Amino acid sequence: MADRKDNPELMADLLGYHLGLADEETRARVEREFSAQELAAARDTASKVLSPLDSDSPMQPPPKLVDNIMARVDALNATFPLKRPAVRMTPEHGRGGAGRPLMRMRELVGLAAAIALFLGVFMPGYRNARLAQQQGTCLDNLRQMGNAYGAYAAMFEDQTPFASGPLPPNASWRRVANSGLPVAPNSRHSWLLVVGKLVPPNATVCPGRENDRPLTVDAVRGLEGFPDPRNNSYATNLVTKPQRRADLDSNSPLMGDMNPLAEMQTFPVDASQLPPNSRSHGGTRGGQNVLYADFSARFVRNPNVGIENDDIYRLIGVQEYTGRERPTLRSDAFLVP
């Protein structure tokens, strides 16, 4: 088989054979050229090369993607005139020298195999690398926030950031259209770290959230909070009164990737409708970065990482969310924007 490796056409046929891209003639030729043992060995090698495809979770296309594209094409209502060719076509056109076709079937199979390998191996690999880079940058953001929490506690007698004034009992932590409720976003606490210059404003935006945009340093001046929800990618533990760092369990979550509850389009929301994880990293099956009270940060695959495996995105015993929920237990973390 070593000598046949120097024949690129034959090896292209072999690859097309294992990818299911070869026609009957090519399949018969491959089976004549290689023994059953050689084909089995080549199949094992191809399986190992293509194994990353089995572990990848491809992104699902939007529903009715084809219908939407065709609807937009029909909406153009345009025609494109075709110019008459200046040269009269002859049977020799489309052929190479001496009447040879420009590309033979085995070459087409090789090209198709190369495209299949590129799309199947390199593109998922690139996507996974990009997601890993975004996840790492996001984790660094939360570590910066942890350092800022520590600096704030050192300056204010071990207190964690807490905006002045009590939380009104009828206030909503989420802006609900036409509700008439006062809004008290929980991000007003972490805003103290930004306006106090303990953390740069770009550390409040996760690169995995394409629509979020950080504030500039100059834009922070004179503001009393994040002017737009897209300026802050993170949810913080909902608190109703000041807390001392020494009173917190080291495993208490302080901050994490955005709660999927905050991204629901309509309220109230039934708890059964909520996806398990944040949407910031790899969809709802990915996971989230979490900052803890000991100022450590790590990536977790599910939201049950609070005290006694508490779900950091839901409240114990709450089945419907309106935006006015409050934790009733000290150990019940509830990360909201």
Which residues are within 8 A (CB) of 45 and not within 5 positions of it... i.e. 6 or more apart? none
b/e map of 71-105 (b: 16 or more CB within 10 Å)? Answer: eeeeeeeeeeeeeeeeeeeeeeeeeeeeeeeeeee
Closest by Cα among 150, 181, 162 to 292: 150
Number of domains within the chain: 1
For residue 125, being part of any structural domain is answered with no
For residue 232, being part of any structural domain is answered with yes
For residue 275, being part of any structural domain is answered with yes
Q: What is the pLDDT of residue 230?
A: 93
At 175, list the tokens: 């802006």
Q: What is the pLDDT of residue 335?
A: 96
For residue 330, being part of any structural domain is answered with yes
323: left (phi over 0), alpha (psi -120 to 50) or beta: left
Domain that holds residue 286: 141-336
Q: What is the pLDDT of residue 204?
A: 96
Q: What is the pLDDT of residue 271?
A: 87
Peptide bond into 8 cis (omega under 30): no
For residue 268, being part of any structural domain is answered with yes
Digit-by-digit pLDDT tens for the chain (337 residues) are 556 666 667 777 776 666 555 566 777 777 787 776 676 677 667 656 655 555 555 555 566 655 665 566 556 555 445 455 555 555 555 455 555 555 566 666 667 767 766 665 555 566 777 788 888 899 999 999 999 999 999 999 999 999 877 677 788 888 776 667 788 889 999 999 999 999 999 999 999 998 999 999 999 988 989 999 999 999 999 988 888 988 999 899 999 999 999 888 777 888 888 889 999 997 667 899 999 999 999 999 999 999 999 999 999 999 999 888 889 888 899 999 9
Long-range contact pairs involving 244-250 (C-beta distance under 8 Å, separation at least 24): 244/157, 244/158, 244/159, 244/160, 245/149, 245/153, 245/158, 245/159, 245/160, 245/293, 246/158, 248/160, 248/293, 249/293, 249/307, 249/331, 250/292, 250/293, 250/294
Q: Helix or strand or coil: residue 133?
A: helix
| CB atoms inside a 10 Å sphere around CB 46 | 16
For residue 221, being part of any structural domain is answered with yes
Query: What backbone torsions phi and psi does residue 52 show, to the nearest 5 degrees?
Result: -60, -25
For residue 84, being part of any structural domain is answered with no
For residue 318, being part of any structural domain is answered with yes
